[in-house]
Amino acid sequence: MTASEVGPATSRELPGLLRAWDEAFVLSKGRTLGFAQRLPGVFDAPVLENIVVARHDEAVIGAAVMKRLEWVSGGARSAFAAIGLVWTHEAHRGKGVASRVLERLLQRAETSGCAAAVLWTTLSGFYERLGFVRDDQSVIGIVTRSSAEPSPDGVSVAVASGDTVARRERIRTAWCAERVERSAADWRTLPLPCGEMVELSTADGYALVGVLNEKAYVYELYGPADQLRALWQSIRSRYGWVLVNDREGSASAAVLRAAGVVFERQALTLWKPLTVRERPHLPFLDRI
């Protein structure tokens, strides 16, 4: 394979790519809902230059995606390239296809002004050989219960919708000085393995919880401390198994620790500096 066979995807290739990604990462694992639905911020209006493919005899044999994240930190702004959906056709694995695709995608990230590239994986060794460094501020906590718990007053629950995005954005801005800017499509992100996103709301707070059957995945929890406690109590009253995604040192993690949640540090985030070495925590909803 030569470097000339690696380049941006075409609009004609995109439907086949989505089928390949869905088969590899969704359907083959017994999951539902493809990436066109799960990542609308990427695929509602795809930027084909951010989707790099490798071709052999005009057939796509490998691919990966980059999403530009606009990062706000106080009055400063920068951009990061989130990378995901790294895939190689099984007949071409072990031949350097993924490395060539990623090298081209990293070039795209740098020329488009991204300060660093970031991805999330349990795979060890491969990405480090491309210059990535593992640095993760994320923590998770898993809580189960065997009996029903009372639900607090003042918490409303509904399937997350676009009608409340402005409210959520206002609260997130008030409580999160460092954050990724989100479009309306970004707010519709549905991470694997969830089947739907539920929003719990208080007067000045909210929680976004992905749900799959009786399991709940807490992705965001913002608001005053007393309302964080009410939101958490409501989550616990509704679901028997809860996984919390959070950041070491956050206000929500402190409240949940006080409520008995035991957090473990994660090691999934890998960074590759392009122009700076800044490595902020990127919430689960902003990842690919």
**Same domain for 124 and 22:** yes
β-strand 116-120 against 206-212: which pairing, if any? Answer: unpaired
**Same domain for 200 and 129:** no
**Same domain for 42 and 109:** yes
**Same domain for 248 and 160:** yes
**Same domain for 152 and 118:** no
**Same domain for 249 and 194:** yes
Residue 1's pLDDT is 42
Q: Which residues of the chain have pLDDT under 70?
A: 1-4
**Same domain for 274 and 179:** no
pLDDT one-digit tens code per residue, 107-128: 999 999 999 999 999 998 999 9
Q: What is the CATH number for 274?
A: 3.40.630.30
pLDDT one-digit tens code per residue, 184-232: 999 999 999 999 999 999 999 999 999 999 999 999 999 999 999 999 9
Q: 103 lies in which domain range?
A: 3-136+267-286
Residue 276's pLDDT is 81
Residue 147's pLDDT is 76
**Same domain for 226 and 117:** no
**Same domain for 210 and 113:** no
Residue 45's pLDDT is 93
**Same domain for 226 and 129:** no
Find out whether 108 and 14 touch, Cβ atoms under 8 Å: no
**Same domain for 184 and 97:** no
